[in-house]
Amino acid sequence: MSPFGAAIFDMDGLLVDSEPLWHDAEVEVLGALGVPISEGDPRRTKGIFVREVTRYWHDRFPWEGPSTDDVATRIVDRVIDLVGEKGRLQPGVDTAISLCRDHGLALALASSSEYRLISFVLERFGLASHFAFAHSAEDEPYGKPHPAVFLTTAARLGVAPDRCLVWEDAPAGVLAAKAARMTCVAVPAPGERDAPAFAIADAVLFSLSEADEDLWRRLVAVRGDVEETGSREPSGSG
């Protein structure tokens, strides 16, 4: 019997190269309101629910006029436009999905994005059929790094959290997965591998293209160590 019953995939940055597009949208929309972020700045709010993003910036650089929720809507509208124009699948998406399906795992998507963006991405790239459902932090009181979005997804799948395998690209997502007591494979963006959160991931890849049987065996071994000792040592590639 497999130690895993389900695989839960993040979306932005992991399946689709949309994180730069999120940054562009935030620079455009928030910049017009006087928030001092620019194209060269790192995206400090990566992986966080968009309505929490706008509250984060409003707390630091208050603007007059539209509410934080209205600004969040503008950002998502712009991201949808940009994904339609420039979005592309990340390398190895089919490889990672196939690995999980070959081992009999149920698949779901758990994202910090709103449902309308999730639906657009899944349709745009033909991914919807791979997942039993998609769950958004839009339905949760807190987004990542809070574990709620992953815990709810596990409950809907009928799989215990400690038998779920999470695939993430963002530090906030890794923190959320580990807080939920799930095994986590991290695929950091170039230049972000040194983020402290990735040290607690169970495997760190350069690309989803590395999702092979060797990785599966390592994850099974890590899961076995947890069952025997109640603790685990992170493993990484490269």
Active site residues: 10, 12
Largest CA distance in the chain: 58
Cα-based distances in Å from 153 to 115, 132, 232: 14, 10, 23
C-alpha to C-alpha distances, 172 to 45, 82, 96, 168, 185, nearest whole angstrom:
9, 23, 21, 9, 13
DSSP helix/strand/coil, 102: helix
Show the tokens assigned to 105. Answer: 């795992």
| CB 76 within 8 Å of CB 114 | yes
- CB neighbours of 163 closer than 8 A, spacing ≥ 6? 3, 4, 5, 6
- 114 in helix, strand or coil? coil
Beta bridge partners of 164: 6
Q: Which helix (H) or strand (E) holds 106?
A: strand 106-111
* CA pair distance 168, 76, nearest whole angstrom: 21
207 neighbors 92 (Cβ within 8 angstroms): yes
